[in-house]
Amino acid sequence: MMEEIEVILNWLESNYEVIVALAAMVISVWSLHLQREHNKLSAKPYLDFEYLSGGVDKRLELSIANVGFGPALDIVLNLYDQGEYVETEKLKFRDYMVEQADPLFLKGTKLSIVNPSTLKSGQKQTILQLEGPDPREAREEFIQRFKFELAYFSLYGEKSTVEFTAPV
């Protein structure tokens, strides 16, 4: 038993430089991994919807804000009308919204739609705006039937999505 321990101690004594070098390399690789994960988090975007309705100017507005630390890239706006996907190419999207609305509702109503492709950290962009003389309740009832979904990427290629449905 003593001889076995002595053999192990002799082996450790003659190879301790290799053992220390291997341990240092493992710690270095692990540290690099942790640093990379930290960098991903420090450059991650987070998009949030902001919904405003009413006020003096009789406007209903849906905006997105990047409240994360990095830019949101390749933003895609998807629209669902009562669960059905709607083509959201800008002109088709606007035509669809007009088509679905009551003609009396749209009389004198301004409908603006913007689909941004990128948002810097801290940047805010209005994506949908309805304003006009019609009752606020009509605009709110109209917008409640839609679900908005944003898909976007971070600098590191990570995909994220966020959804919004107007409150009832």
Look at the chain and report how many structural domains it folds into: 2
Mean pLDDT value across residues 84-104: 67
Q: Are residues 86 and 135 in the same domain?
A: yes
Q: Are residues 55 and 11 in the same domain?
A: no
Tell me the CATH number at 96: 2.60.40
Token pair in block for residue 63: 């905006």
Q: Are residues 93 and 28 in the same domain?
A: no
Q: Are residues 27 and 99 in the same domain?
A: no
- pLDDT band at residue 52 under the 50/70/90 scheme: confident
Q: Are residues 69 and 148 in the same domain?
A: yes
Say whether pLDDT at 144 is over 60.
yes
Query: What CA–CA distance (Å, rounded) separates 84 from 125?
Result: 25
Q: Are residues 98 and 72 in the same domain?
A: yes
Q: Are residues 101 and 116 in the same domain?
A: yes
- pLDDT band at residue 104 under the 50/70/90 scheme: low
Q: Are residues 110 and 81 in the same domain?
A: yes
pLDDT of residue 129: 81
Mean pLDDT value across residues 79-107: 69
Q: One-letter amino acid identity for 59?
A: R
Say whether pLDDT at 91 is over 60.
no
The domain in which residue 13 lies consists of: 1-42
Q: Are residues 89 and 113 in the same domain?
A: yes
Q: Are residues 101 and 78 in the same domain?
A: yes
pLDDT tens string 118-135 = 999 999 998 888 776 666
Q: What is the mean pLDDT of the chain?
A: 82
Mean pLDDT value across residues 64-68: 92
The pTM of the full predicted model, rounded to 2 decimals, is 0.68
pLDDT of residue 24: 95
